[in-house]
Structure 1
């Protein structure tokens, strides 16, 4: 890759690795609806003006049903689930559990008619990755965090299903207008709940900084950088940064929030990462640059024309 490509890759690895940390900080001072509303409203406000030209030719009205479904599964539902879950569990655990979404995406592909045969390596990847999820979730389940862990895994499932809708029903719709409109729809849905739970006292600076980071850096800027990365290196290489995000999430949680690094966390990280790489790997006869599985997810959001075949907008995925 070019030097610019490596820079964009590094930026995306960090930008969609730190939302879990910022959510953990922000949710201490504002409600879940307020957090999601601020994030989506600011993201829409930044991206909609840039997408105006594309909106005129995107024919979004003809695709309103899959567009609403995609917005629900990529933003509206998972962002609520992740934020609510982080009131109880660590940002590190959240980031690692969400890293299982590529593994879930392979299973979703099989259940929704994906005819591609899974070889031994990919089946092994599924088993290894799910074992990593089990290792990570088991202590939390014993500690009573069943609901929070279930919320994160449900969010990961949403992230796995949303790209299927994008690839099969929105393939001819440009990604920037799709992203902007989905963020706008989410902001409208969260406006009333956010107003009803708006804080009566201004949150402290730490919470406000986390909200600003989520809205501006991890949403608006993230999608612009992501689109630039796709144009620079292509969709196949761009997808690789999703394997770096969990490491960033764990590192940020440890360094900033003093979250513990335990043996189960390290083991789960290795298993989930290895499982994701194996489960989403290309077959030997898949042409270079072609994604092996059109349902493999790229963190939360909705992407540019070149990405339409591979996924949807982290995130994100906290993405």
Structure 2
């Protein structure tokens, strides 16, 4: 990679490891729906004018059904459910669970007409990765049933993140990425608006919560996606997808150092197993597990 691509990669690793921490801060005053709507709407306000100026928004909207499906799978469901789950899960725990996206892509790809041979290496990777989830879930059993509600929300979010790029690969492969993303942000914002209004705070949120949502929308969504598109073109999708292996470490580090979250041996072993399993399961795969920012 060139030095610019290398710097972009490093910046994205940090930017996409931060959302779990920021969501935790925003949850003090805001509902999950408000957080998800706020970041999506801010990102739309930035990316839609850019897409319009480049002339890629209108052509993308000729594929409204696929763009809407992508908006629900990649934006509405994950952004809302990650914030919902973090009401009971630590930010570091959440970041590690989201790292199972590559494993999930391999499992559900055949449902979208993407058929690849499940060789011994990839099967071993799946087994190792999901064994890591089992190890990880042995960490926080003290939270009782609410822990499992949070875990369930995270796993549905993982499914959404996995389905999103498969929709792109199957139905939006010839559509400009920026145009499709800008259109999906608008649709996602409209879909979440009623829920955000219904759960709006009765008092003015703190500056910490508002700044957290602003950073989520402007930096972790809009700017990060622009950088991600640049990285794909500069270094290729395969190298760009390696960001997914660094994000959980950044999320865990922030959770431990800033929020004083517990991070024991189970979390460390689970994280290593999940990342190693994802690497094995994704080997020789043509799937592009791009993420629209957590």
Task: Please give the TM-score of this superposition, normalised by the length of structure 1.
Answer: 0.87
Say if 2:77 and 2:157, in contact at 8 Å, map to a contact too: yes
In structure 2, the CA distance between the partners of 1:137 and 1:164, relative to structure 1 (3 Å rule), is same
| Range that drifts further, 194-203 or 159-168 | 194-203
The answer to whether 1:219 aligns with 2:221 is yes
| Range that drifts further, 228-237 or 166-175 | 228-237
Measure, in 1, the Cα distance between the counterparts of 2:235 and 2:44.
26
Measure, in 2, the Cα distance between the counterparts of 1:127 and 1:29.
40
| 1:111, distance to aligned residue in structure 2 (A) | 4.1
Say if 1:28 and 1:87, in contact at 8 Å, map to a contact too: no
Question: Which residue is equivalent to 2:204?
Answer: 202
In structure 2, the CA distance between the partners of 1:55 and 1:14, relative to structure 1 (3 Å rule), is same
Question: Which residue is equivalent to 1:43?
Answer: 43
RMSD (CA atoms): 1.6
Say if 1:141 and 1:149, in contact at 8 Å, map to a contact too: no
| 1:141, distance to aligned residue in structure 2 (A) | 5.2
Question: Which residue is equivalent to 1:288?
Answer: none
Alignment of 1:236-247 (within 5 A): 236-247=238-249
Q: Give unpaired runs (5+ residues) of structure 2.
A: none
| 1:16, distance to aligned residue in structure 2 (A) | 0.7
Question: Which residue is equivalent to 2:98?
Answer: 98
* Length, aligned pairs only: 292
| Range that drifts further, 195-204 or 242-251 | 195-204
Measure, in 2, the Cα distance between the counterparts of 1:110 and 1:140.
33
Measure, in 2, the Cα distance between the counterparts of 1:23 and 1:63.
32
| Range that drifts further, 204-213 or 255-264 | 204-213
The answer to whether 1:256 aligns with 2:249 is no
Measure, in 1, the Cα distance between the counterparts of 2:213 and 2:22.
7
The answer to whether 1:83 aligns with 2:76 is no
Q: Tell me the SS of whatever aligns to 1:202.
A: coil
| 1:132, distance to aligned residue in structure 2 (A) | 0.5
Task: Please give the TM-score of this superposition, normalised by the length of structure 2.
Answer: 0.94
Say if 1:129 and 1:276, in contact at 8 Å, map to a contact too: yes
